[in-house]
Chains A and B, each alone.
Chain A
Amino acid sequence: MNYNWDWGVFFKSTGIGSEIYLDWFVTGLGWTIAIALTGWLIALALGSLLGVMRTVPNRWISGIATCYVEVFRNVPLLVQLFLWYFLVPDLLPEPLEMWFKQDLSPATSAFISVVVCLGLFTAARVCEQVRTGIQALPKGQLAAGYALGFRLPQIYRDVLLPQAFRIIIPPLTSEFLNIFKNSSVASLIGLMELLAQTKQTAEFSANLFEAFTLATLIYFTLNMSLMLLMRLVEKKVAVPGLISVGGK
């Protein structure tokens, strides 16, 4: 194989303005983090609400949440992304549609689509974790809350959820990492996040292997830092006297 290795490529000019290739990676990483964090906020908020709904003693409320989970978990992520990006804007009321398609920059509209898509997709998965966490608690906790005169929303807020979230920190961590990995689907609708910038660098510079090696390293470092961060969170909220899973 006749390949010109050149690890200095990242400091070379891209030929566009005064940018070097490394700048592209930095911009891409910025988008990746923005997509993942915004999507995660949506996923965590909506997923917690749905998880609670699935455990509430009301068939309609839990039924709605179950349907949500079945739909969003079983339709492939890419299909969902294309629906959000290509189809949903056409279904919006005229002024909103115009705003989305014409007033917003292409990057912004792609960002909105991908964040909504990842947020709602991941919410279904967060929902299942939250539900599992709540159901893992002894039934008596709910009874004890009622017996003290609490109403159901108070019991969820003060008794069940604080315990459930502590239990599910490890699986939530992996969903958190997944949303970073999944954020790369944004490259398919033209948003220049990390993967898209990597591909572009590879094409422009012809240093394909270096570009993908760097991208791999960035994703890896990102994941490791997030994992450590979540370990810290887990330690911080660990309850004295209870065995914690990751806090050893």
Chain B
Amino acid sequence: MISIQNVNKWYGDFQVLTDCSTEVKKGEVVVVCGPSGSGKSTLIKCVNALEPFQKGDIVVDGTSIADKNTNLPKLRSRVGMVFQHFELFPHLSITENLTIAQIKVLGRSKAEATEKGLALLERVGLKEHAHKHPGQLSGGQQQRVAIARALAMDPVVMLFDEPTSALDPEMVNEVLDVMVQLANEGMTMMCVTHEMGFARKVADRVIFMDAGRIVEDCPKEEFFGDINARSERAQQFLNKILQH
């Protein structure tokens, strides 16, 4: 579903990504972790062409991003993305947040878009908030709406960039629950997260990044199995985040 092939990216002279390669198969859940600044966000943003890269290619559901003829807006409309800071549109109601792209990008009718949006809102447990605005919801609720907004586009894959790290601790689980449910339904997911409980529960594979490189890329059982078999950087990282 996603094939990342030798991706290299520079910000000026600074190389953010070095020879990153991996595959995410249909229905697979891949967790990406690593220290801050290691390039996780950059990599995941390359997958829906939010960030350009200079070398290599990424193929999403058969569409090459490096190909100059690719219609990037169309590709992005088929890739769901959930951001650390939700990025709901604060001036629009929850319903409008859920329908605007369905109507303006996919060309659905307002009635159809609303029906779809409200069904998804119900699925994330927020049906009664449809008429409100994002500023009137808690962080956890906003992130669930953001997930519903991405799902409304019928994405072939969902990308998450630290979806719970801007949340108060008591709201983390309501968001993770939605993500677990999604994973169990067979959604293809690439999640940047430090929630190792989530990774243990639903991930098929875990990728560990450091300094712009994919250092580890292995099945979950292997990753969490024998910690001493991990690279030194991964061990340091895991020790830090598994302490508490």
Contacts and interface: CB of A to CB of B under 8 A. Distances in A.
B132 A240 contact: yes
B85 A162 contact: no
A180 B138 CA distance: 44
A79 interface: no
Q: How large is the interface on B (under 10, 10 to 19, 20 to 34, 35 or more residues)?
A: 20 to 34
Nearest to A150: B105
A90 B105 CA distance: 50
Interface in A147-176: 147-151, 154, 158-159, 162-163, 166
A166 B136 CA distance: 18
Nearest to A141: B87
A209 B121 CA distance: 67
A140 interface: yes
B60 to A, nearest CB: 13
Prevailing SS type, chain A contact patch: helix
A141 B80 CA distance: 15
Interface string B150-162: 1001000000000
Interface stretch (B69-77, B184-192, B234-242): B69-77
Interface string B89-110: 1110000000011001110000
B105 A149 contact: yes
Contacts of B219: none
A239 B85 contact: no
B133 A241 contact: yes
B79 interface: yes
B105 A148 contact: yes
A138 interface: yes
Nearest to B48: A147
Interface of B: 45, 48, 50, 73-74, 76-81, 83-85, 87-91, 100-101, 104-106, 132-137, 149-150, 153
23 contacts: A138-B87, A141-B89, A143-B83, A144-B81, A146-B76, A147-B50, A147-B79, A147-B150, A148-B76, A148-B100, A148-B101, A148-B105, A150-B105, A151-B73, A154-B104, A158-B89, A159-B89, A162-B91, A239-B90, A239-B91, A239-B135, A241-B134, A242-B90
- A-B pairs, 6 with minimum CB distance: A241-B135, A149-B77, A144-B87, A241-B136, A148-B101, A147-B81
